Structure 1
Amino acid sequence: MNRIEHIALMAHYNQWMNRKVYDAAGTLTDEELALDRKAFFGSILGTLNHLMLGDTVWLKRFAEHPADFSALVPLRTIATPADLKQLAFANLGELSAHRTWLDQLIVDWANSLHESHLDQRLRYHNMRGVGAEKPFFGLLVHFFNHQTHHRGQVTTLLTQAGVDVGTTDLLALID
């Protein structure tokens, strides 16, 4: 598997797992979703919002890549989040609809990448405004790892709430 195939696999894994997580979360009440469970972002809803906000921040940075990815153009109308702990969507239905849209955008964008894009360096600013420049492929690895990390937290919170997400292993998508 080459790097482009790996990124496409991770985009599909992200979409698949988010659908499973959101379906599982949908079995809980609004109160259960908002309950402070002492996680990094408090509740299940808070953690799902963080994931969506983090993805938005990174995708908006990726949209600044010299390749000018057309698949990321729709992000221009979305404001860059000021705080990764904010509750951008207070209910699961609205968050889920946005997540579905964002995940399809990620898949479409991942499918538009070329090997030559991966070795370029990307200049961006972190949330505190400090500039950085890093290899694009490394940033993509971070992007997908961040998703997996926090989805793992959500699946733990769902399990503690009595909801089984089912299989979560990437292995399920590998031929």
Structure 2
Amino acid sequence: MLDHFVLLADYNHWMNDNLHQAAGRLPAGALEAPRGAFFGSILGTLNHLVVADTVWLKRFASDPAGGRWTALHALDDIEMPGRLDAQPCADLAAWWSRRQRLDAVIVAWIGQLDANDPGRIVEYRNMRGDPHRRQLSHLLLHLFNHQTHHRGQATTLFSQCGVDVGATDLLLRLPVPE
């Protein structure tokens, strides 16, 4: 099962790089322009992904196993976001810096998981403070699915601006058997 999460972490990193390249091809002001999307603009959508990833990574870091998941502590200096529509990154450069940092943490952390970790139960509180318990493997599926969902929204917004993000299929990152 761990190899699936390694693959998803790689795919996540690759797709975020593709979004960054696409954002660099937008005309001035297009990234921040209101587009009627759930998070307003392209930058609002990209910020939501940064916020949600930060929330989940900080939840994982607070798990009792978080002490041995040292990669997660690279985010200790970042505050837990208070809202899912927060805008921690004011522009493309700030977003890209934070995105690269988060992706590096995700890749490193997934590499630190052992065979027993996916089955462990993680206890956390949602944004309202309600307690929850879920299996780590299921939460990881949610993390990566959530990223894919909102990146799909972002690619649509890019397309509406005349910028092609390129191929987005996970298939392109699958290893070829020898």
TM-score, length basis structure 1: 0.96
Q: What TM-score does the superposition give when structure 2 sets the normalisation length?
A: 0.95
Structure 1 residues 27-36 or 98-107, which shifts more? 27-36
2:150 is matched by which residue type in structure 1? H
Residues 47 and 154 in structure 1, CA contact (< 8 A), matched pair in contact too: yes
- Alpha-carbon separation, structure 2, partners of 1:54 and 1:71: 18
**Structure 2 matches for 1:126-145, cutoff 5 A?**
126-145=126-145
User: 1:14–1:103: 8 Å Cα contact kept in structure 2?
Assistant: yes
Contact kept? 1:50, 1:85, Cα under 8 Å: yes
SS of structure 2 residue aligned to 1:124: strand
Deviation at 1:66, TM superposition (A): 2.5
Letter in 1 for 2:12: N
Q: Which moved more, 1:17-26 or 1:64-73?
A: 64-73
How many pairs were matched up? 173
Alignment of 1:1-175 (within 5 A): 3-68=1-66, 69-175=69-175
- For 1:114 and 1:52, the matched residues in 2 are separated by 26
Shift of 1:60: 0.3
Q: CA deviation at 1:87?
A: 1.4
Indicate if the aligned counterparts of 1:30 and 1:91 stay in contact, CA closer than 8 A. no
- 1:30 deviates by 4.4
Task: Tell which deviates more after alignment, 147-156 or 82-91.
Answer: 82-91
Q: Is the 8 A contact 1:12 1:107 kept in 2?
A: yes
Residues 21, 165 of structure 1: 8 Å contact kept: yes
> Displacement, 1:84?
1.2
* Structure 2 gaps, min length 5: none
CA RMSD of aligned residues (A): 0.9
Q: Offset of 1:90 from its aligned partner? A: 1.1
Q: Which segment drifts farther, 6-15 or 108-117?
A: 108-117
State, as a whole percentage, how many aligned pairs show the same letter.
49
**Equivalent position amino acid for 2:77 in 1:** T
List, as ranges, runs of 4+ consecutive aligned residues in structure 1 with deviation greater than 3 Å.
none
Distance 1:26 1:174 in 2: 27
Please state whether the residue corresponding to 1:162 is helix, strand or coil.
Answer: coil
Given residue 26 of structure 2, which amino acid in structure 1 is its aligned partner?
L
